[in-house]
Structure 1
Amino acid sequence: MSITLFLVITVVVLALAFDYTNGFHDAANAIATSVSTRALTPRVALGMAAVMNVIGAMLGTEVAKTIGDGIIDIKQFTDSGDANLQLHGLVIVLGALVGAIVWNLITWWFGLPSSSSHALIGGLVGAGLASATQVEWYGILHKVIIPMFASPVVGFVLAYGFMVLILWIFKSRPYHRTMRRFRILQTISAAAMALGHGLQDAQKTMGVIVMALIAGGHAESWGLIDAQGGLVIPWEVKIASALAISLGTYSGGWRIMRTLGRKMIELDPARGFAAETVAAGVLYTTAFVTHSPISTTHTITAAIMGAGATKSMKAVRWNVARDIVIGWFLTIPAAAAVAAVIYWIFNLII
């Protein structure tokens, strides 16, 4: 087995490992509110989320294409025939994945709901800069940075407004009976959120696997680039990514679930339903309309704060929210730094 093929296999396995960590790291995004309000038991919620992850992952590829060619320029390695150039490209992707996985594990350990998406993007940027590979700053600005700030604001505002509307509609209804009905509705909203998680996050792994195959010189044999120069995501890559994130989700992310479901604010079923519904809507819009790889974590966290703020601004534990936001700002540079170091180390070895 050539070292190039060995590295291709290694990078693909690491990409699926990242997908798995994404699943257990972000499982809380879909089900924390439903579990905390007792709309679903933890194991039932995780099983439902895992199934919806698979379905969501199979519904589109535009976010995968944004990751595959919208962050760094990997196409220069396409079937170059130059073994050294191919190795160089594979080490870039390898460094990006290790940077993202390390940051995922650190934030999971401390129970911080940081963004796996932005960890991966930070890893790609860090490895790209360390290797002097062209970084697509225009694409990062419009597809990553602007959505990074916009999606939490939109999630907060819409969840707050939606919850105000719910309170007005049901103001004269019996409280306990109404909450029982919202527990049932939360099953639907949690499923919608899990579908959005699969739709967004599994695609990011698809994009990285395709990058590895391109860097390893398999673009032509796998038919990864179409006549217009765009990426093609093979069905084998879609299925592997869908299953990896689903297995990760089913394994659960209890530390982060406690942060989202209990530490930040005590939610009732109506507010949980409002937060999940709004967050799912934002995920679908960005996946199908803008093709932006936004953070499911940022979106649901902001929506939870928005729905919870309708109790009163004091109802939200802003010190917990502050720690989460700090994690958001640290994610891209921290993952980029780790990825750059990993790239330099492997580049010296290889």
Structure 2
Amino acid sequence: MKMIHELIEEVKDEVIGWRRYLHKYPELSFQEEKTAQFVYETLQTFGDLEIIRPTKTSVMARLIGQQPGKVIVLRADMDALPIEEENDFDFVSQSSGVMHACGHDGHTAMLLGAAKILTQVKDQIKGEVRFLFQHAEELPPGGAQELVAAGVLDGVDMIIGTHLMSTLPFGKIGLSYGPMMAGADTFRISVVGKGGHASQPELTIDPIAIGTQIVTNLQHIVSRYCDAQETLVISVTQFHAGSAINVIPSNVRIGGSVRSFNPNLREKIPTYIERIVKGITEAHGATYEYDYQFGYAPTINDEEVTKLLDEAVCEVFGEKSREYIKPIMGSEDFSAYQKVVPGSYIFIGARNGENGIIHPHHHPKFDIDEQALQFGVKLFVHGTLKILN
């Protein structure tokens, strides 16, 4: 019987090939029909898997071990982004305006590699492994909550997810106990005033002057409304007003993003924002419309699951590869699974400055060091066997 390290080495080129194929043919969120079909057909070649399609553009395969035990889910996302790729390698995107600019092609390939290997060592598995290929991570409300509703976590004890990171050098694996990624919410504000000629502002209710006061005062929420030790970001990212240089418009549209970790603080932010908007608009005789949308919740890693993975990382890669990282303000719908079962989300270093792999996620020249794919496969395989056995 072949050893696990031999199986991992054997699948290396295949994993890279899968990643390159997926990179060449990306699909946007909720449109991953060909991607899902490719994953489905590839899984069929492994044997011993019960494969289902929980939603139109997702796939889940179940590997049931020969002995009873826990049930663990390994998750990969599959969707691409609406970005025109600017790379020039052989497997550049063939879909105009669509690109795998966040590493999801690599995530899918790594999980396929892990599924192939674990299927071959089925006799060593106590319990059940579910390989979950998720659609639509990039576009709220996201695919994770759809899959939870479809029952993919029924009977599950824990879930593991990974992300290839361009901010972390190849050879490093990033772990975090507790908060890992922030919750991400959005707001939209419309200030309704009274337009008029720029030469007669006294006859108007100037929504631009009012809107700029709102933007300025929103920053007081972070600096004066909450504990200085809390992590909170409120960014105004849109301000639309006017169409002519000599006209004061009748309304202004403001939009922005809120990032936080503390669930209690997160619930208060909509009220804080509206209090400021209401006070300023009333003071100047204007009215307003306000919409606040809660997006992905914070990704908070379970202590016990993370500890087991921490041990697996040290055993397989050595302590020098492990890196404890600070929580980041990006967001992930992996949090939808963590609301239901304990889970841990891990970063795999994919940056290589010597090879020019330096561009951030969502950049038109984003790429990964493909050596990192083997790290992901190893982590999935050894982490699974450690937890289940």
TM normalised by structure 1 equals: 0.26
**Greater share of helix residues, 1 or 2?**
1
TM normalised by structure 2 equals: 0.24
**Greater share of strand residues, 1 or 2?**
2
